[in-house]
Amino acid sequence: MEEDSKALIELRREFHRLAEPGWMEYRTTEHLIKALQDDRILLHYGKEIYAGERLGLPTKEEKERYSSGLHLAIEKAEEVLEGYTGAIAVVETGKEGPTIGFRFDIDALPLKESTDEDHLPHRLHFESDHLGAMHACGHDGHMAIGIMFTKWLAQHAKQLKGKFIVVFQPAEEGVRGANALVNGKWLEQVDYFFGMHIGMGLASGKICVGTEDILATEKIDAIFTGKSAHAGAHPEEGRNAILAAASAVLGLHSLPQDANGLARINVGKIEGGSGRNIVANHAQLALEIRGSNERVMEDLKAGVKRILEGAAIQYGCHLESSCKGRAEAWYDKDKLFHDQLTIFLQNKGYALSDFSMKGSEDVALFLNRVQEHGGKAMHFMLGSDLKAAHHQEAFDFNEEDLITGLDLFKDLVRFLMTNPIGNK
């Protein structure tokens, strides 16, 4: 136990150092693959694991920043360097039994890490190698658990039955990655699927079974292209993209009143124009919508389309809008499964707690696909006291909590070995 905790912390720090944002987890993927080298683990990666659109790909400049001069000592280095990052590890027991899936996310955030002495990664010198990229959401910890857990599965394959699929998913930030993986054949065979996140405000020592209010979301970029003109000499020749964007911003924020559920919209970024004396021929918005169910999402998407198109027409601009990320709502609706797990974990001594997220997580796509196919799925929150909130430069969780996450996954497997619930 003590030893496992040390190993988890060690691994977490290695990944923390490698911090790479979504679709650019080049060295992270290399490190994962090396860490999972084991005869009993079948490793899939590169293009073969992809079966859906990779949303929100980085720009050429961003990619170059992380890949330039990089040589990966793995077989499919080229595919990985094309952005087919992540991996799927499979452990087969050879015995009849349930297929059980797990998802761990692997990407970092485009954020400058704190250089404060209080910041553990800085003090202990495992801060990010990449200036401007940082594991500020705990995915480094997720990977540590995922690796240790997969190895444990391999080591205990003989005592276990059925099959285990462990997904190391890229680009969770911006809810981009799941979409590219969930349509594969992997999920069709899955009887049980588990996701987990660390922190989020839940205290160290606590576990939440069935995170509430995981909202559906769609991330949208809208670009208005007008026509530039000298603002003093010939304003009438311009088509003002900033005016179109302003009209859109106000219109978009009028959308979220919906009796069908919780609805949210946010235009979080705006940028437009080239000079103050030029009628702006360019303006763009980065926005997101969220909803507690698909009906709300349909209403919001239709509304966004109307507002953007109308704004473009108003000011004679061309509109180009694209989806940069997408996740679904997930609700812990399988009360029987919830209760069975709850009773089992309580008996095992876990301190359970309710938790409402009111945020989005693309693990929802895995959970929903499995449930749609008749499988069972659950999302857990792993409590951990934080130094600063997620996505902050001083974010840090308590490394001592990682072992609880690893134990949880082991216990879930133990439970399913002896208590097969609703197998297909």
Q: Binding a copy of itself by CB under 8 A: which of 260, 340, 342, 423?
A: 260
Q: Binding a copy of itself by CB under 8 A: which of 34, 47, 333, 358?
A: 358
The smaller minimum CB distance to a copy of itself, of residues 115 and 254, is found at: 254
Do 26 and 66 meet the contact criterion of CB atoms below 8 Å apart?
Answer: yes
277 binds a copy of itself, rule: CB under 8 A: yes
Burial class (CB in 10 A: 0-12, 13-18, 19+), 162: buried
Binding mask 122-161 for a copy of itself (x = CB under 8 A): ----------------------------------------
Q: Binding a copy of itself by CB under 8 A: which of 4, 309, 385, 393?
A: 309
417 binds a copy of itself, rule: CB under 8 A: no
Q: Binding a copy of itself by CB under 8 A: which of 79, 105, 140, 258?
A: 258
349 binds a copy of itself, rule: CB under 8 A: no
Question: Which residues neighbour 241 within 8 Å (Cβ) at sequence distance 6 or greater?
Answer: 224, 225, 226, 272, 273, 280, 281, 282, 283, 315, 317
Q: What is the DSSP string of 343-356?
A: HHHHHHT-EE---E
- Distance in angstroms between the alpha carbons of the first and the last residue of the chain: 34
Q: Taken in order 399, 36, 192, 291, is the CA torsion positive or negative?
A: positive
The smaller minimum CB distance to a copy of itself, of residues 73 and 233, is found at: 233
203 binds a copy of itself, rule: CB under 8 A: no
Angle at 395 between CA 393 and CA 401, to 5 degrees: 160
259 binds a copy of itself, rule: CB under 8 A: yes
Q: How far apart (Å, rounded) are the C-alpha atoms in residues 259 and 256?
A: 10
Q: Binding a copy of itself by CB under 8 A: which of 128, 179, 321, 360?
A: 360
196 binds a copy of itself, rule: CB under 8 A: no
359 binds a copy of itself, rule: CB under 8 A: yes
Q: Which residue has the tokens 């995981």?
A: 214
Q: How far apart (Å, rounded) are the C-alpha atoms in residues 202 and 195?
A: 16
Q: How far apart (Å, rounded) are the C-alpha atoms in residues 385 and 124?
A: 19
Q: Binding a copy of itself by CB under 8 A: which of 97, 205, 316, 422?
A: 316
69 binds a copy of itself, rule: CB under 8 A: no
Whole-number minimum distance, CB 394 to a copy of itself, in Å?
16
Q: Which residue has the tokens 């200036």?
A: 131
Whole-number minimum distance, CB 375 to a copy of itself, in Å?
27
Point out which residues pair with 397 in neighbouring strands: none
Q: At what angle do helices 139-155 and 26-35 cross, to 10 degrees?
A: 20
Q: Give how far the C-alpha of residue 237 lies from the chain's centroid of Cα atoms, to the nearest Å.
A: 45
272 binds a copy of itself, rule: CB under 8 A: yes
Q: Taken in order 70, 74, 80, 82, is the CA torsion positive or negative?
A: positive
217 binds a copy of itself, rule: CB under 8 A: yes
Binding mask 227-256 for a copy of itself (x = CB under 8 A): ---xxxxxxx---x-xx-xxx-xxx-xx-x
269 binds a copy of itself, rule: CB under 8 A: yes
Whole-number minimum distance, CB 330 to a copy of itself, in Å?
14
172 binds a copy of itself, rule: CB under 8 A: no
Do 211 and 379 meet the contact criterion of CB atoms below 8 Å apart?
Answer: yes
Q: Binding a copy of itself by CB under 8 A: which of 198, 307, 378, 386?
A: 307
Q: Binding a copy of itself by CB under 8 A: which of 5, 189, 225, 314?
A: 314
SS3 340: helix
List interacting residues with a copy of itself (CB under 8 A). 174, 215, 217, 219, 230-236, 240, 242-243, 245-247, 249-251, 253-254, 256-260, 264-280, 283, 286-288, 290, 299, 306-307, 309-316, 357-360, 391
